[in-house]
Amino acid sequence: MVMKKNILIGGKAGQGVAMTSALLGKIFVRGGFYVFNYRDYPSLIRGGHNFNVLSVSDSPTFSFEKSYDIIVALDQNTIEKHRSNLRDGGFILGNKNLRSKNLVSLDLDKALSELDLPLIFGNNILVGYLAHYFGIPYSLVSEVIKKEFGSKSHLVEKSIKFAYQIDLHKSEKIYRKRRAKYFFSGNEAIALGALAGGLDVYFAYPMTPATPVLHYLARLQREYNILTVQLENEIAVINAALGASFAGAKTMVGTSGGGFALMAEACSLQGMSEVPLVVYLAQRTGPSTGVPTYNTQGDLKFALNIGHGEFPRIVVAPGDAKEAFIKTQEAFYLSQKYRVLTIILGDKHLGESHFSFDDIERPLLKPKDFILRKPNKNYKSYEFTVTGVSPRAVPGLGPVVRATGYEHREDGITTENENEIIKMTEKRNRKEKFIEKETNKLNPCKIYGKGENLIVSWGSTKGAILDSLNYLKSFRFLQILYLRPFPVEKVVKELSKAKKVVLVENNSTGLLGDVIREQTGFAIKKRILKYDGRPFSPSEIIKKLR
Amino acid sequence: MKELNLLTKTQNTWCPGCYNFVILSAVEEALRELIRKKEIRKENIVAVTGIGCHGKIFDYLNVNGFYGLHGRVIPAAVGIKIGNPRLTVIGFGGDGDTFAEGIAHFLHACNTNPDITMVVHDNQVFALTTGQMTPTTEKEYKGPSSPEGKKTNPINPIALALASGASFVARTSVFQKDHLKDILIKAIKHRGFSFVDILQPCITFHNTSSYLKERIYDLEEKNHNPRDFKKAFNRALEWNYSLDEKSSIPIGIFWQEQRKTFEEDLCQNQKPWYLFKRNLNYKKLISLLR
């Protein structure tokens, strides 16, 4: 039988909920468990109510249930809000001043004054208590703390060591030898995927939930010799990214829906100028400002259609943090090779949740910039070729290099001539067929499970669907990663084999359903849609399908 | 020595007699002189243009070019400079382009001081869209979008640039080609954000030739000191871009200072990124995900 514990950690913003759950998550992973860490927070800086849910299991887990085995309460409000979701036999862990049934209270104030540590270290005592409760050897905890806290680790260790000496109210010694080795968020994966893909310069304007990528890369920039640049608005960001790419840097921008809307015109400039660019679009609940720190898969068609005029582009939607790492590397390779816009379509749930994995494979493609080092003197920026991809040179090498938003001849000079318009349009359009050949080799869609019925979805719903498959033996799951070029043949094959097809999406109108209908002619009638800003839990899907 | 060809053979579509021909010729001569004196290299020049009559200069100059979006010359130019700090990046914009659609970028570039040159073809009108008012058009101007006359005063880009911290602020005009060429040379040589406002009538929609000609005077003749910020500001306020009868119009360098540029402050890497070898260890990288 699968062991799975859902642990909620809640408190006010500023009390260290996210830090505490991330630390506990890392300790569980080091202790041999698979962990999924969900983060839920309102749009405010101090006060309010934040919580994380750690799903801890002895087999892979990518989602959580709203039914908690343990609630770690950093304030009374956490108890009031979540007590009704405490499972029978579960307990609440917190400071002595809290009031509740099933409360295991620790006298944190007394402990901290004895230890001469500030208030925030109370969280570490709670972490230590739980690590001890689940039988994780202290040596492993110490290892994690040394790695995470560096020069401050002795203080953290002091508080956790203390916790290991507290008498446990009971215990569940389920510690096992190591399995999962990696534990990271989608946003960390995008940032490091960009690094691995050859990123030189990241341009951004802060916007939830893409901002952590900016923060993370800014922190790494000296060590990895990259650059992060924050400019005055998203329009400046994307135009500068195109400029830097024109000059030969591999560039990426990151934003959410509102910022991406401001970038629309420059996406179109990308289409005409064929200057390579990678965009990370982290969706959040819209329309407009919407619910800024919550999740909806509402921007699929926006990403597929952004920019006026017709031009090829790539849209790829990773479903978990490991896919985010791999697909971001592919995005860099494909953008540079085909001189196209690649949009990495993520969302808040993917970006800000932590996932655990046994291993990380190498990507199928190696980073490359495809820049001619010695262009000949007759070089033309938009030379006609069989694939539609003109060899790319950059300024400074000798021959004149041009990028333009006007329709143009091979040398980049403006044209309004009808034959030249046709030829250049066809050159650009031709690229898409060759991109598709390449993306078809990059697992544009994946199948999980063996049932005769089919669940179809994309992006961050993957976790809950995968976890629900364990209880839905008659279903298999088709995850579509490359949404443009759309893997028509593979999708049609799966749809036609299936006895019953169900669409699962974290939005209110079933956007992927529309895209599938447009691309394949299949209309999927049975749909499970969720649009309350929260991700699916497996039980919600299971209930609808059983 | 063979004469460097800095012009393409593309058919020119500016109106016959357009003052943009003067600007094109001055730009060509300025670049040629800078190349001859080995101040810059031809292959490192990038002309960045917006959208409007001025933008056609992209097609006529035989140098690297980025024909970007209306109003977005400055961020594209900043990006190009970050992408390869060795390049000589010269932005060309119109007054509508720079001061209407792109005003935010203009203010921030004055403040952050990227080492680029921004040349504004300031004819005080939207010409390629047939004569609507721009932010520098005078009050009471009657155009197709303002048949009852423009209701507001023009903005003063020189004062705006000074107030926003530009490190090189100059005005010139198409009536003094040598002056225009000389200012362009100094602007391009300046390390930092150089702003050059070129006064230029639009002979079709906004012909201010006689007004401008009668009032222009050279700051150098008045012994203006471009290191004196207060005096620079006072000179900037002598003309407010209206067609006021009493004004006189100073041209020349109002203000110049040396300070750190945006990209030298940002970039640890001062060479082109594409020449940069980064020996990434994949194993080490994924160890960050543990």
Give me the tens of pLDDT residue by residue for chain A, a chain 546 residues long: 578 999 999 999 999 999 999 999 999 999 989 999 999 999 988 889 999 999 999 899 999 999 999 999 999 999 999 999 999 999 999 999 999 999 999 999 999 999 999 999 999 999 999 999 999 999 999 999 999 999 989 999 999 999 999 999 988 877 666 667 899 999 999 999 999 999 999 999 999 999 999 999 999 999 999 999 999 999 999 999 999 999 999 999 999 999 999 999 999 999 999 999 999 999 999 999 999 999 999 999 999 999 999 999 999 999 999 999 999 999 999 999 999 999 999 999 999 999 999 999 888 888 899 999 999 999 999 999 999 999 999 999 999 999 999 999 999 999 999 999 999 999 999 999 999 999 999 999 999 999 999 999 999 999 999 999 999 999 999 999 999 999 999 999 999 999 999 999 999 999 999 999 999 999 999 999 999 999 999 999 999 998
CA distance A11 to chain B (A): 26
The Cα–Cα gap between A190 and A107 comes to: 41
Of A182, A222, A246, the CB nearest to B83: A246
Q: Is residue B6 part of a domain?
A: no
What CATH number was assigned to the domain covering residues A445-545?
3.40.50.920
Domain ranges of chain A: 4-180, 184-357, 445-545
The Cα–Cα gap between A463 and A440 comes to: 23
CA distance B75 to chain A (A): 5
Record the pTM: 0.97
CA distance A366 to chain B (A): 11
Domain that holds residue B100: 20-287
b/e burial code for range A72-99 (CB count within 10 A of at least 16 → b): bbbbeebbebbbeebeeebbbbbbeebe
Q: Is residue B246 part of a domain?
A: yes
3 state DSSP class of B287: helix
Of A244, A360, A371, the CB nearest to B80: A244
Is B66 close to A265, i.e. CB distance below 8 A? no
What is the ipTM for the molecules in this complex? 0.98
Is B79 close to A246, i.e. CB distance below 8 A? yes
Q: Specify the CATH number for the domain of residue B41.
A: 3.40.50.970
**Whether A47 contacts A13, CB under 8 Å:** yes
Q: Is residue B265 part of a domain?
A: yes
Q: Report the CATH fold assignment for A184-357.
A: Rossmann fold (3.40.50)
- Which element (helix H / strand E) includes B30? helix B20-36
Q: Where are the beta strands (DSSP E) in chain B?
A: 45-49, 64-67, 88-94, 117-122, 168-173, 194-199, 216-218, 249-256
Q: Is residue B1 part of a domain?
A: no
Window A:168-227, CB contacts with B under 8 Å: 181-184, 188-189, 192, 195-196, 198, 200-201, 203, 221-222, 224-227
Is A414 close to B274, i.e. CB distance below 8 A? no
- Which element (helix H / strand E) includes B82? helix B73-83
Is B272 close to A394, i.e. CB distance below 8 A? yes
Residue whose C-alpha is closest to residue A356's, from A18, A30, A7: A30
3 state DSSP class of A246: helix
Asked if the domains at A4-180 and A184-357 fall in one CATH topology, the answer is: no
Is A413 close to B8, i.e. CB distance below 8 A? yes
pLDDT in tens, chain B (290 residues): 466 889 999 999 999 999 999 999 999 999 999 999 999 999 999 999 999 999 999 999 999 999 999 999 999 999 999 999 999 999 999 999 999 999 999 999 999 999 999 999 999 999 999 999 999 999 999 999 999 999 999 999 999 999 999 999 999 999 999 999 999 999 999 999 999 999 999 999 999 999 999 999 999 999 999 999 999 999 999 999 999 999 999 999 999 999 999 998 887 777 899 998 888 889 999 999 98
Set of chain A residues whose Cβ sits within 8 Å of the Cβ of B77: 243
CA A75, distance to chain mean position in Å, is: 30
Pairing mode of beta strands A182-185, A354-357: antiparallel
Residue A216: partners with Cβ closer than 8 Å, 6 or more residues away: A187, A188, A191
Tally of structural domains, chain B: 1
**Whether A64 contacts A537, CB under 8 Å:** yes
Judged by a CB distance cut-off of 8 A, whether residue A232 touches chain B is yes
Q: How many beta-carbon contacts under 8 Å exist across A and B?
A: 189
Instruction: Report, at the CATH architecture level, how domain A4-180 is classified.
Output: 3-Layer(aba) Sandwich (3.40)
Residue whose C-alpha is closest to residue A354's, from A117, A16, A22: A22
Of B10, B87, B105, the CB nearest to A247: B87
Judged by a CB distance cut-off of 8 A, whether residue A239 touches chain B is yes
Which residue shows structure tokens 């979701």?
A85
Judged by a CB distance cut-off of 8 A, whether residue A258 touches chain B is no
3 state DSSP class of A493: helix
The Cα–Cα gap between B45 and A414 comes to: 19
Q: Is residue B166 part of a domain?
A: yes
Q: ∠B77-B79-B166 over CA atoms, to 5°?
A: 55
